[in-house]
Amino acid sequence: MASHVFGRGPAPLPVAARGEGCYIFDDAGRAYLDGSGGAAVSCLGHSDPDVRAAMHAQLDRIAFAHTGFFTSEPAEELAALLCAHAPEGIGKVYLLSGGSEAVEAAIKLARQYFLETGQPDRHRLIARRQSYHGNTLGALAAGGNAWRREKYAPLLVETHHIAPCFEYHFRGDDESAFDYGQRVANELDAEIERLGPETVMAFIAEPVVGATAGAVPAVEGYFRRIREICDRHGVLLILDEVMCGMGRTGTLFACEQDGIAPDIVTIAKGLGAGYAPIGAMLCSDTIHAAIASGSGSFQHGHTYHGHPLAAAAGRAVLGAILDRGLLDQVQTRGQTLSAALDARFGQHPPVGDIRGRGLFRGLELVEDRTTKQSFDPARRLHAKIKAAAMDEGLICYPAGGTVDGRNGDHVLLAPPFIISEDEIGMLVDRLARAV
């Protein structure tokens, strides 16, 4: 049957018919172990009884009420719970339908903040060369992958890109990892100076880089230095935790492990956990107060923002993560996964690096393990491994990208937080066969 869905994957795709725990079943009854939760989405696995019950109950009460007229119980409860566990200073939540919308909202809020505080020239954004922040025109401008942007130029936000902080770039030079982190953080300082601090509104970064790099955290001290540079220049720090947030790295917000708090933070994927399209932009009380005492309103409303049914899903997901001790479980199972990957791939010829935090792990594939020489990007090794893994009954996320002239072939793993020790073994076995 010809498909009329305008989609993304290579046709023909299997039909997802049912989900249970860590498995997706196709319409022929074949089971696929969900080793990446889609793309770090399905943190509770498939068919979670508590989320289903919460959504059914909300659906029986009311599915939708426009936020221009009403708030709703699940939206209020979700926002309160998020703020109770958010980084220091964060006190307000704007609910949206996904990650790109949350990033758009963050950029617009930063812009409006400076307009309302009498600094209208601060409109420039600084981001990092290897990054992904979404596919709408503002979020696309922020993202670092030039090939994603080139068909859609001119974009809507003036963005300047600096180097990312990837420890795996730092390979055996005389410099320590800490000094490397300080050096690349100082690129932000230099870029702000070059552009003129009075023109820069914000710096945006993922604490652990996901889709473009395969779970790469920054080195110790990097984000503290970034925070200090932003503060010194009056530039806002936006952290994009759409992929790495919601407990994926073992803390609710990934930035907790970097010892800093942002001015604005975005979350999405794991918030709806696949049960509902939902994202959120959280901001500091300071930013909110400036807007409240200024024009009084933030013009970003989408029809479905604050959707009660989606909020009920998010509220149930967050409740499950906190009440079932899943953050601890992510840390322990994350160690099991990390040890299993080291044991299986530590000496494997094409695996040049194994990294990540919690249940957010990545492998980097290289032509030569010693020199870390990349594969020819035309080979698209990550895409081939994705296909081979599907044949093995494993879903893993292919993360390809180019970093500062280096080509990257990465495999991203982000299994549900409920994955068992046995399933971790199965995941690594299947991945090894695919690689």
**Measured from the CB of residue 306, what is the shortest distance to ligand PMP in angstroms?**
16
Which residue number places its CB atom closest to ligand PMP? 99
Nearer to ligand PMP, 39 or 43 (CB): 39
| 87 vs 279 by CB, closer to ligand PMP | 279
Q: Which is nearer to ligand PMP, 240 or 258 (CB)?
A: 240
128 contacts: CB under 8 Å, gap ≥ 6: 144, 161, 162, 163, 164, 165, 205
Instruction: Between 105 and 426, name the residue whose CB sits nearer to ligand PMP.
Output: 105
Residues contributing to the site for ligand PMP (CB under 6 A)? 39, 98-100, 103, 132-134, 206, 210-211, 240, 242-243, 268, 279
Least distance between ligand PMP and beta carbon 148 (Å): 11
Closer to ligand PMP by Cβ: residue 87 or 134: 134
Comparison of 115 and 217: residue with beta carbon closer to ligand PMP: 217
SS3 letters across 67-101: CCCCCCHHHHHHHHHHHHCCCCCEEEEEEECCHHH
Determine how many CB atoms are found less than 10 A away from the CB of residue 130.
Answer: 25
List all residues 6 or more positions away from 321 whose beta carbon is below 8 Å from its beta carbon: 43, 44, 246, 247, 252, 327, 417
For ligand PMP, the closer of residues 133 and 355 by Cβ is 133
Q: How far apart are CA 387 and CA 46, in angstroms?
A: 22
At which residue do the structure tokens 């604050």 appear? 306
Q: What is the closest distance, in whole angstroms, from the C-beta atom of residue 155 to ligand PMP in the complex?
A: 15
Q: How far is the CB of 402 from ligand PMP (least distance, A)?
A: 17
* Nearer Cβ to ligand PMP (272/352): 272
Task: Tell me the two tokens of residue 64.
Answer: 């939708």
Nearest in space to 18 (alpha carbons), one of 37, 4, 32:
32
* 3-class DSSP assignment, residue 418: coil
Among all chains, which residue has been given the structure tokens 């491994």? 385
The least CB distance from residue 178 to ligand PMP, in Å, is 25
Question: In 3D, which of 142, 288, 132, 289 has the Cα closest to residue 203?
Answer: 142
Supply the DSSP symbol for 219: P
Smallest separation, CB 290 to ligand PMP (Å): 25
Minimum separation from the CB atom of position 367 to ligand PMP (A)? 27
Min dist. Cβ of residue 425 to ligand PMP (A): 28
Q: Residue 284's beta-bridge partner residues?
A: 90
Dist CA 131 CA 204 (whole Å): 10
Give the closest residue to 277 by CA, choosing from 298, 301, 305, 251: 305
